[in-house]
Chains A and B, each alone.
Chain A
Amino acid sequence: MADKKELAFKAKDKKSPIGADIDLNVFKSEIRETSSESDIKQIAVEERRIMENVGVNPEEKKTAGIYVQIDQNRVFYNSLTQKAEILPIKEAIEKYEWLKDYYWNAVNVDADKYTSAVELELHNGYFIRARRGQRIREPVQACLMLKTGNIKQNIHNIIIVEENAELHLVTGCVSPNILEPALHLGITEFYVKKNAKLTFTMIHRWGKRTLVRPRSAAIVEEGGVFINNYIILSDVGDLQTYPTVYLKGENSKAELYSVIYGTGKSIYDVGGRIILEAEGAKGKIVSRTIGADESIIYARGHLIGKRSGCRAHLECNGLLLSDKSRLTAIPELEAETTGVELSHEATIGKIEQEQLTYLMSRGLSEEEANSLIVRGFMTINVPDLPPTLQKTVDDAIRLTKLSGF
């Protein structure tokens, strides 16, 4: 671990190649002592309401467990099944010596100043693992809440789905509408073992001035399936993320879906990268971006085929609702050997008058027609998602107050 600290220290001023540089020094640390408890009833009513905004509901009967972290140090967690283990990462590191093999393994500790900051000052995060052979259909829920202004929240999460296991995790990251800036740094490392399956659904809802720099990566072994589903339908100050999936095992598969509804003067820079390193590996990246108000959105996608016999497709569709918004799609395909099949499709369009005319002729008002088109555009049916989770996603989209026309 000492090595990691050293590497982190050296990288503490290292700028990220993508996204505006953030001065980390302006954000404070909390003074509060670390607390962790399993009685989720202790979560205040007002906080529960905030959590529900991102699809996390601790009352939900059909859940396999929950992890809630508020600001830096208040943690609640509860595993409701023996099939999965949920722990705050700080406790997990103490408990399992072997976890060091996973800690900073998928993500490099010295990737940039943000990874560095999380290593140098860790607040907490979750460790979730689905035990070998256990297929857990009920979702595990996690919520990372950033409630206090002017602070930073440094998170490190590790998810391990052991051989032949199946896990569905939904994570809501949320800020109530605080006016002060705040910073969320989140490292997430996913490990999908042989023939295991993980669906990871993340819903973000931030404050107007929240700065967000998640850094995540996944390693998928033979026959493993990783499905990532990312949704942000709120304002944010500036968000930049570019998760990477390494398909290391033969016939492994990754699918990354994202839906971004840009509002206000927010900046969203969201990418997805799949590195296909084994024969029979399959990848898919689908993004839907909607630019309203004065939002700026970058949709990046990168497929790298390293072994013959792998296949991947990239699809970036953008819908521009406002003349003051900017959408940029940046698809990249890279083949390092023959026998690699990569393709992409990128479009940016607007709502066509023809579509409005059509829907209005069925009795919808212009506003209803617009919102139907936009909501339809945002709808992605993610394969393998349990119905309860698909509903969570659909509800998030349905309840979004659309702006921009």
Chain B
Amino acid sequence: MSGENILSLIDLHVSADSTPILKGVSINFEKNKVHAIVGPNGSGKSTIAKAIMGFPDYKVTRGDILYKGESILDKTITERARMGIALAFQNPPVIKGVKLDKFICKICRDCQRASDNRSGRHLGEADKCTPDLTDGFRKLLIENLKDRDINDGFSGGEIRRSELFQVISLKPEVMILDEPDSGLDYDSLKLVGRTLKEIRDAGKTTMIIITHSRYILEYLEADKVFIIDKGRKVFDGDKSILPQLEEFGYKEFLNRNKLR
């Protein structure tokens, strides 16, 4: 299996607050495949997502991140987003006074095409959003969030679905989902799983999923599974390792499968 790599981490070292978190991670993400990043709490999984997105507090101290063959280290978050990288946040901040539906309307690719003079567009004016928007809210069962301030008082499950919807609206080439399934009840889990499956089946998006859930990875038929531990990639394989991982836990699993 040697598809085209859309995104590559090369010997990536990342520090936050001058504390090293990632200590040399190399991973190739293949175009339009599903990649899982798993590992114990605090191992640096989320840091990988944040470093790819370009969070300013996460400094790349060594190594590189290549997107479509070119380094994106000097690109701003905005630039990376516009290049086609999107991240569903685990703990997104509240944005007071900005309604979720108006916001999605502002950021969504289709809406931007629909009204071409972006500079002249204002929030609240973009009511002519494609019916997709209303549809999306309904499909994800978050119609109640439409005219709420972004993330204000959202439950964990509501955040997951709102994040997923926003990321989908961006039509990204690379979609990074940081624990898209945490805090979901069974029904929501199914809903999110089904939505992600649709994206996978459409085959036009590279997915990077950070999760602890065997269910979602098996359901999505993850192509690759990487285990991160203590800031390093300690294992790569495919979804066939998931049952063992669940049975033994990370520590025992890694002991049994000594590096590579």
| Residue contact B86 to A377, C-beta cutoff 8 Å | no
| Residue contact A353 to B95, C-beta cutoff 8 Å | no
Question: Which of B74-128 touch A at CB < 8 Å?
Answer: 76-78, 80-82, 86-87, 89, 92-93, 95-98, 103, 106-107, 122-124
Q: In whole angstroms, how far apart are the Cα atoms of A353 and B98 in the complex?
A: 17
Give the residues in chain B near A212, CB-CB below 8 Å. none
| Residue contact B81 to A354, C-beta cutoff 8 Å | no
Question: Does A355 have its Cβ within 8 Å of any Cβ on chain B?
Answer: yes
Selected contact of A362 from candidates B55, B149, B166, CB within 8 Å:
B166
Question: Does A178 have its Cβ within 8 Å of any Cβ on chain B?
Answer: no
**14 more CB-based (< 8 A) A-B contacts, given A362-B166, A380-B97:** A355-B95, A357-B55, A358-B89, A360-B81, A361-B89, A362-B103, A362-B170, A363-B78, A363-B170, A372-B98, A372-B123, A373-B95, A376-B96, A394-B124
Question: Does A20 have its Cβ within 8 Å of any Cβ on chain B?
Answer: no
**A-B pairs under 8 A by CB, number:** 67
Give the residues in chain B near A394, CB-CB below 8 Å. 124
Q: State how many angstroms separate the Cβ of A360 from the closest Cβ of chain B.
A: 4
Question: Does B57 have its Cβ within 8 Å of any Cβ on chain A?
Answer: yes
Selected contact of B123 from candidates A357, A362, A366, A375, CB within 8 Å:
A375
Interchain residue pairs A-B with the least CB separation, the first 9? A376-B97, A379-B97, A376-B98, A360-B77, A363-B81, A362-B107, A360-B78, A354-B93, A355-B93
| Residue contact A358 to B92, C-beta cutoff 8 Å | yes
Give the residues in chain A near B86, CB-CB below 8 Å. 361-362
Query: Can you report 5 A-B residue pairs in the complex whose CB atoms are below 8 A from each other?
Result: A359-B95, A362-B170, A363-B81, A375-B98, A378-B97
| Residue contact B56 to A357, C-beta cutoff 8 Å | yes
Interfacial residues, chain B to chain A (CB-CB below 8 A): 53, 55-57, 76-78, 80-82, 86-87, 89, 92-93, 95-98, 103, 106-107, 122-124, 149, 166, 170
A334-374 CB mask vs B (1 if < 8 Å, else 0) is 00000000000000000011110111111111100000110
Selected contact of A360 from candidates B76, B93, B98, B170, CB within 8 Å:
B76
Q: State how many angstroms separate the Cβ of A261 from the closest Cβ of chain B.
A: 13
| Residue contact B78 to A353, C-beta cutoff 8 Å | no
Q: State how many angstroms separate the Cβ of B10 from the closest Cβ of chain A.
A: 22
| Residue contact B77 to A361, C-beta cutoff 8 Å | yes
Q: In whole angstroms, how far apart are the Cα atoms of A1 and B236 in the complex?
A: 91
Question: Does A398 have its Cβ within 8 Å of any Cβ on chain B?
Answer: yes
Give the residues in chain B near A376, CB-CB below 8 Å. 95-98, 149
**Contacts known (A372-B123, A394-B124, A398-B124); A364 close to B107, Cβ less than 8 A:** yes
Q: In whole angstroms, how far apart are the Cα atoms of A244 and B17 in the complex?
A: 49
Q: In whole angstroms, how far apart are the Cα atoms of A376 and B166 in the complex?
A: 18
| Residue contact A358 to B93, C-beta cutoff 8 Å | yes
Give the residues in chain B near A366, CB-CB below 8 Å. 76, 78
Q: State how many angstroms separate the Cβ of A194 from the closest Cβ of chain B.
A: 35
Q: State how many angstroms separate the Cβ of A91 from the closest Cβ of chain B.
A: 41
Q: In whole angstroms, how far apart are the Cα atoms of A354 and B106 in the complex?
A: 19
Selected contact of B81 from candidates A362, A373, A378, A380, CB within 8 Å:
A362
Q: State how many angstroms separate the Cβ of A290 from the closest Cβ of chain B.
A: 12
| Residue contact A363 to B97, C-beta cutoff 8 Å | no
- Identity of the chain B residue whose Cβ is nearest the Cβ of A381 in the assembled complex: B97
Give the residues in chain A near B103, CB-CB below 8 Å. 362
Give the residues in chain A near B81, CB-CB below 8 Å. 360-363
Q: State how many angstroms separate the Cβ of B127 from the closest Cβ of chain A.
A: 13
Give the residues in chain B near A380, CB-CB below 8 Å. 97
Q: State how many angstroms separate the Cβ of B237 from the closest Cβ of chain A.
A: 30
Q: In whole angstroms, how far apart are the Cα atoms of A397 and B166 in the complex?
A: 26
Q: In whole angstroms, how far apart are the Cα atoms of A380 and B149 in the complex?
A: 12
- Identity of the chain A residue whose Cβ is nearest the Cβ of B176 in the assembled complex: A361
| Residue contact A361 to B53, C-beta cutoff 8 Å | yes
Q: In whole angstroms, how far apart are the Cα atoms of A355 and B55 in the complex?
A: 11
**Contacts known (A376-B149, A377-B97); A365 close to B78, Cβ less than 8 A:** yes
Q: State how many angstroms separate the Cβ of A51 from the closest Cβ of chain B.
A: 22
- Identity of the chain A residue whose Cβ is nearest the Cβ of B53 in the assembled complex: A361
**Contacts known (A357-B56, A372-B123); A363 close to B107, Cβ less than 8 A:** yes
- Identity of the chain A residue whose Cβ is nearest the Cβ of B109 in the assembled complex: A363
Q: In whole angstroms, how far apart are the Cα atoms of A379 and B96 in the complex?
A: 8
Q: In whole angstroms, how far apart are the Cα atoms of A357 and B80 in the complex?
A: 12
Give the residues in chain B near A377, CB-CB below 8 Å. 96-97
Q: State how many angstroms separate the Cβ of B67 from the closest Cβ of chain A.
A: 15
Q: In whole angstroms, how far apart are the Cα atoms of A355 and B149 in the complex?
A: 13
Give the residues in chain A near B106, CB-CB below 8 Å. 364
Q: In whole angstroms, how far apart are the Cα atoms of A361 and B103 in the complex?
A: 13
Q: In whole angstroms, how far apart are the Cα atoms of A361 and B177 in the complex?
A: 13
**Contacts known (A355-B93, A361-B77, A376-B98); A398 close to B122, Cβ less than 8 A:** yes
Which of A363, A364, A372, A378: most chain B Cβ within 10 A? Answer: A363
| Residue contact A361 to B95, C-beta cutoff 8 Å | no
- Identity of the chain B residue whose Cβ is nearest the Cβ of A319 in the assembled complex: B96
Q: In whole angstroms, how far apart are the Cα atoms of A380 and B76 in the complex?
A: 32
Q: In whole angstroms, how far apart are the Cα atoms of A394 and B78 in the complex?
A: 27
Selected contact of A353 from candidates B57, B82, B107, B170, CB within 8 Å:
B57
- Identity of the chain A residue whose Cβ is nearest the Cβ of B112 in the assembled complex: A363
Give the residues in chain B near A373, CB-CB below 8 Å. 95, 98
Q: State how many angstroms separate the Cβ of B109 from the closest Cβ of chain A.
A: 9
